[in-house]
Amino acid sequence: MEKILRINMGAGESPTFQVSPLGEFAGLGGRGLTSAVIAAEVPPTCHPLSAENKLVIAPGLLSGTMAAMSGRLSIGCKSPLTGGIKESNAGGQPAQVLARLGYAAVVLEGKPKRDDLFRIIINKDGVKIEVDNSLKGLGNYAAVERMRKEFGDHIVCISIGQAGEMRLTASSIACTDMEGRPARHAGRGGPGAVMGSKCVKMIVLDDTGMSTRQPRDPEKFRAANKIFIEGLRKHAVTGEALPAYGTNVLTNILNEAGGYPTYNFKEGRFAGASKISGETMASLEAARGGMATHGCHRGCVIRCSGIYNDKDGHFVSKQPEYETVWSHGGHCGIDDIDKIARMDFIEDDIGLDTIETGVALGLAMEAGLVKYGDADAAIDLLKEIEKGTPLGRIIGSGAAVTGRVFGLDRVPVVKGQAIPAYDPRAVKGLGVTYATSTMGADHTAGYATATNILKVGGFVDPLKPEGQVELSRNLQIATAAIDSTGMCVFVAFALMDIPETFTALIDMLNSLYGIDLTPDNVVELGQKILKIERDFNAKAGFTKEHDRLPAFFKAQAVPPHNVTFDVPDEELDKVFNF
């Protein structure tokens, strides 16, 4: 995994490619690699949809090995949603397969002058870039199905739906899961629009004939992986809650905590929460022949994903994640889990970030376009996106544009990206992350819910401003490092509570590469990545004034705790004091 594949979509008559050593980027993977390439090669003030932007697709440092949980794929670019740097990562199969094929990164560069749509095929024999205009206008499911018919069911796909083709700024990039479904998405920040601007609809990966990456010290690696897995199985969150109920276990927890944003962040509890909770979902899945415990990629041992069927036992969607259930649920006042699952499928198919889209749907309700709680009307709005109508394009452009076009003044975004499923006033550590993350509002960038609500890694009172900056800072640093390994961020629960699990992770890296990382080096890596990203954003025009929540979170208290966001601005400005 020491080579980088660069595809120049803007080259003369037709695209060209070049495979070269990692060079100056050697030793980097995942988010560390995507952010380094973007920072080094993309002008921070370029238009995100112009030829100057690049799309960097990178497995993590441990991807393609036997390491459990190492299947996250990082996708980086200058974000058309935020205007800043972006790394969005997804589960599914591509990270493992791309790593086994030996690529540390695939970089899409330039922009074709012609109006063709391309597919890229990467296998042991090399790389092919082909025009395939028959893919135009297809949803992810149909596009992937066509590829599987042509190349076989063993292939793995990275693709965009109609939203990406339209270059809508809420568009995602889909990765196929273990069942070959395009259900795992690099959702946040509109990376699908960048892929669409490069006119690449589909990347087909086939690792037939390739083998698992071999560690320098196989024995030490195996032993460390074993300890690592034991830690994950032992921890209550990764060993019990997540496998049993998926991420949607959080609906009841956040609702109970009064931090479940309801009706566009007007309330902190939703009356319909129990109808859409993870517990309800898991029992429906069991009763209907779906699956409540399931992994999204080979090597997953947490298995928080699932398969959601309708009452007749037919596939509806992969089990929707907590944030998806929330953005269409409490945020929109919808308490019908079947319809939420249906929307999850439609958005996966069109290729949309379910957080950004759900929040935009809620804003359409706030604007009076459709009624709060009207799931059928929300589904109709999604069909507008699929068709590319003006209304669909508004919603598909995300929350900030939807709020702007409909003249709203309560628009929950930071750096143009929608705030997800945890009210920053009632989970203040996450509020600090939303405000200051280089990514715009992003719960995964420094998941303070862990310590604020789940009491993992200690406890910091979620309702008080004290201690939140330090909590968010440490989590943001750790997350940037974890996002470089290819590890699912959920391993952090065990890392935070079980010292041996953390040591085992470092041991895996060391035995894989024959290096000698220390825990301090991991912190340094995380800090370095954040600094690279923050420097890019500064050059793109971001200041401390962008490290703020929308003013209404300071002015309007949220029930039931009647709290505002009261972490002082000067404290927010200390997050990156390292």
Residues that bind a copy of itself (CB under 8 A): 43-50, 52, 80, 166-169, 193, 196-197, 389-391, 393-394, 397, 401, 404-411, 538-543, 545-546, 548, 550-552
Q: Give the orientation angle of helix 468-485 with respect to helix 428-436, to 10 degrees.
A: 60
Contacts 24+ apart (CB under 8 A), 298-301: 298/71, 298/93, 298/96, 298/178, 299/66, 299/67, 299/68, 299/69, 299/70, 299/71, 299/96, 300/68, 300/69, 300/71, 300/91, 300/488, 301/68, 301/69, 301/229, 301/232, 301/233
407 or 514: whose CB is closer to a copy of itself?
407
Q: CA torsion, points 81, 82, 85, 86, in degrees to nearest 10?
A: -50
Q: Do the beta carbons of residue 199 and residue 111 sit within 8 Å?
A: yes
Which residue in 365, 397, 393 sits closest to 378, CA to CA?
365
User: Closest by alpha carbon to 505, among 530, 520, 522?
Assistant: 522
The three-class DSSP label of residue 518 is coil
**Distance, CA of 108 to CA of 288 (rounded, Å):** 42
Q: Quote the tokens at residue 526.
A: 């995380």
Rounded CA-CA distance 83/157 in Å is 27
Shortest distance, position 491 Cβ to a copy of itself, whole Å: 36
* Distance of closest approach, residue 197 Cβ to a copy of itself, in angstroms: 7
**Residue closer to a copy of itself (CB basis): 401 or 522:** 401
Nearer to a copy of itself, 5 or 194 (CB): 194
C-beta of 538: minimal distance to a copy of itself in Å?
A: 8
What is the rounded distance in angstroms from the CA atom of residue 192 to the CA atom of residue 142? 17
Question: From the centroid of its chain, how far is CA 474?
Answer: 20
Closer residue to a copy of itself (CB): 324 or 417: 417
Q: Measured from the CB of residue 424, what is the shortest distance to a copy of itself in angstroms? A: 15
- H or E element at residue 17: strand 16-21
CB of 434 to a copy of itself, least distance (A): 15
Do the Cβ atoms of 79 and 111 come closer than 8 Å? no
CB closer to a copy of itself out of 297 and 548: 548
Burial category of 198 from C-beta neighbours within 10 Å (exposed 0-12, middle 13-18, buried 19 and up) = buried
Site of tokens 């956040």: 254
As a residue count, the chain comes to: 578
Instruction: Kindly state the smallest distance separating residue 423's Cβ from a copy of itself, in Å.
Output: 18
Count the neighbouring beta carbons within 10 Å of the beta carbon of residue 216: 12
CB 191, min distance to a copy of itself, A? 14
CB of 417 to a copy of itself, least distance (A): 14
How is 104-164 classified by DSSP, letter by letter?
EEEEEES--SS---EEEEEETTEEEEEE-GGGTT--HHHHHHHHHHHH-TT-EEEE--HHH
Q: Is the Cβ of residue 193 or residue 359 nearer to a copy of itself in the bound state?
A: 193
Burial grade of 388 (CB within 10 A; 0-12, 13-18, 19 or more): middle
Residue 80 CB, nearest approach to a copy of itself (Å): 8
Q: Considering beta carbons, is residue 219 or 545 the nearer one to a copy of itself?
A: 545
247 CB contacts (<8 Å, ≥6 apart)?
A: 278, 304, 321, 322, 323
In whole angstroms, the minimum distance from the beta carbon of 269 to a copy of itself comes to: 24
CB of 168 to a copy of itself, least distance (A): 7
Nearer to a copy of itself, 198 or 443 (CB): 198
Minimum distance of a copy of itself from residue 73's CB (angstroms): 24
